[in-house]
Structure 1
Amino acid sequence: MVIQRLGMCIELVRFAIEFVMFVAEAVGIVLHQNSAPQLTYTGFGTPNIPYVAFLP
């Protein structure tokens, strides 16, 4: 009985590790795909001097 529970626990840990690896890989792919266009867009057309305004 104890050996069966230990085996089930090991299988659950394996599934959890696989799930975490899958999610981490998916997040890495999404970040890699989204990072390239944003880097070229964010630096283009931004002012060098901060906006200063006087309130009435």
Structure 2
Amino acid sequence: MKRGGNTMEIGQQIKKYRDQLHLSQEQLADKIYVTRQTISNWEKRHKYAGHKYFD
């Protein structure tokens, strides 16, 4: 996946679905084996959420 325009959309989608599932950032992080800070960075668009986490 190309970096750029999709990064913002991915972060918004992660937050949307996390909120719908009533999961905290820490709970989601535990489920996909990343840190809470990684989830925060993805949602705030500081880091690119690579496809390896969502396959």
TM-score by length of 1: 0.33
Select the structure that is richer in helix.
1
TM-score by length of 2: 0.33
